[in-house]
């Protein structure tokens, strides 16, 4: 499903630690879980499709080192009851929670004017509300109760590179911008409890599962978009997971409230999904624009 982790971290870095990775059965989440379990972590992977999670767990457990173990929990992150059950399950199985990766997420392609209110809400719930609900639930039921000042938690929120908006996926752009700001607020409120909160903003990362959601559009998208990425290629899931694992680890103990891109030089700029074709609008009001200066 996924190639080797890139981590340079020392073996056993996460021995005894418990981490939750939402959307951990596929794509980026799978790569993150794989790297963690190979470093000795206990990891709960959570998503809606239990069959996908179970298949992933049996593969991932083959990468386990030093007591690392994968547990699975069915959870729709849009549902608060499911979120509460996930935290109960994680505490029962792992005995503790040291890290959370809010990775489950997604959206659909549509111009703003065609998105229904329910569709917009569904995307906001999937990407933003879920992050708030799960982070808060773990804070209230675990991190806020720890007396030992050396006990710390780390939350990594996966968003996406959309500093300049996200045409054709505006609902997701808005939700992810919300996650970035929520990250900064949680980072400042919870620093006194030793909880760090950061974002990782991937650019275009080739994951079979992720791109499968877009059917035939994905091929056309990739060929038009690759020249716009300074690296001239997509990233890989492992190139994202190495940063996520670093942020989860104590090596990042002085880093909180940040948003870091993994985007092949895009500077977290907008993923260039083309706006709908249009004739040259916004023509210059004064003077003529030479033809070669137009698309």
Ligand X SMILES: CCCCCCC/C=C/C(=O)SCCNC(=O)CCNC(=O)[C@H](O)C(C)(C)COP(=O)(O)OP(=O)(O)OC[C@H]1O[C@@H](n2cnc3c(N)ncnc32)[C@H](O)[C@@H]1OP(=O)(O)O
Q: How far is the CB of 295 from ligand X (least distance, A)?
A: 20
What are residue 195's phi and psi, to 5 degrees?
-105, 125
Q: Which residue bears the tokens 């997509």?
A: 234
Q: Which residue bears the tokens 């670093």?
A: 246
Candidates 169, 268, 182; CA nearest to 210 is 169
Q: Is 271 in the site for ligand X (CB under 6 A)?
A: yes
Contact region with ligand NDP (CB under 6 A), list: 177-185, 187-195, 202-210, 216-224: 202-210
Tokens of 212: 């499968």
Burial string for 200-239 (b: 16+ CB within 10 Å, else e) reads bbbbbbebebbbeeeeeeeeebeeebeeebeeeebbbbbb
User: Binding string to ligand NDP for residues 134 to 173, with x set by CB under 6 A, is what?
Assistant: ------------------------x-x-------------
Q: Which residue bears the tokens 């624009």?
A: 289
Give the one residue of 116, 149, 223, 276 binding ligand X; rule: CB under 6 A: 116
User: Binding string to ligand NDP for residues 27 to 56, with x set by CB under 6 A, is what?
Assistant: xxx-----------------xxx--x----
Tokens of 53: 């999670």
Q: Is 265 in the site for ligand X (CB under 6 A)?
A: no
| Cβ(139)–Cβ(179) below 8 Å | no
Helices marked H in 191-216? 208-212
| Cβ(180)–Cβ(240) below 8 Å | no
Give the one residue of 75, 123, 128, 182 binding ligand X; rule: CB under 6 A: 123
Contact region with ligand X (CB under 6 A), list: 7-15, 105-113, 151-159, 187-195: 105-113
Q: Is 210 in the site for ligand X (CB under 6 A)?
A: yes
Q: 218 is in the binding site of which of ligand X, ligand NDP, none (Cβ under 5 to 8 A by kind)?
A: ligand X
What are residue 265's phi and psi, to 5 degrees?
95, 5
Give the one residue of 22, 102, 126, 268 binding ligand X; rule: CB under 6 A: 126
**Where in 221-250 is the site for ligand NDP (CB under 6 A)?**
none
- Which residue number, 13 or 243, has a Cβ lying nearer to ligand X? 243
Chain residues in the site for ligand X (CB under 6 A): 106-110, 116, 118-119, 122-123, 126, 160, 204, 210, 213-214, 217-218, 221, 271
């Amino acid at each position: 499903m996924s190639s080797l982790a890139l981590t340079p971290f020392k073996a056993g870095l996460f021995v005894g630690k418990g981490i939750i990775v939402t959307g951990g059965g596929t794509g980026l989440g799978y790569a993150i879980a794989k790297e963690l379990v190979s470093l000795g972590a206990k990891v709960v992977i959570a998503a809606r499709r239990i069959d996908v999670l179970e298949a992933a767990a049996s593969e991932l457990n083959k990468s386990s080192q030093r007591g690392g173990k994968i547990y699975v929990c069915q959870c729709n992150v849009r549902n608060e009851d499911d979120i509460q059950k996930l935290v109960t399950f994680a505490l029962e199985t792992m005995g503790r929670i040291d890290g959370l990766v809010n990775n489950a997420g997604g959206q659909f392609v549509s111009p703003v004017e065609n998105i229904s209110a329910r569709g917009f809400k569904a995307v906001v719930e999937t990407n933003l509300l879920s992050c708030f609900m799960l982070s808060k639930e773990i804070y209230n039921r675990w991190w806020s109760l720890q007396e030992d000042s050396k006990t710390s938690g780390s939350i990594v929120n996966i968003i996406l590179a959309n500093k300049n908006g996200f045409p054709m996926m505006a609902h997701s752009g808005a939700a992810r911008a919300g996650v970035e700001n929520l990250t900064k607020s949680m980072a400042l409120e919870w620093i006194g409890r030793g909880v760090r909160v950061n974002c990782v903003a991937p650019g275009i990362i080739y994951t079979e599962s992720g791109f499968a959601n877009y059917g035939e559009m994905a091929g056309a998208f990739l060929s038009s978009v690759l020249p716009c990425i300074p690296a001239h290629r997509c990233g890989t899931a492992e190139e994202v997971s190495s940063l996520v694992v670093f942020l989860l680890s104590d090596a990042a103990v002085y880093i909180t409230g940040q948003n870091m891109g993994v985007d092949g030089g895009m500077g977290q700029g907008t993923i260039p999904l083309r706006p709908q074709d249009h004739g040259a609008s916004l023509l210059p009001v004064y003077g003529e624009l030479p033809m070669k200066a137009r698309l």
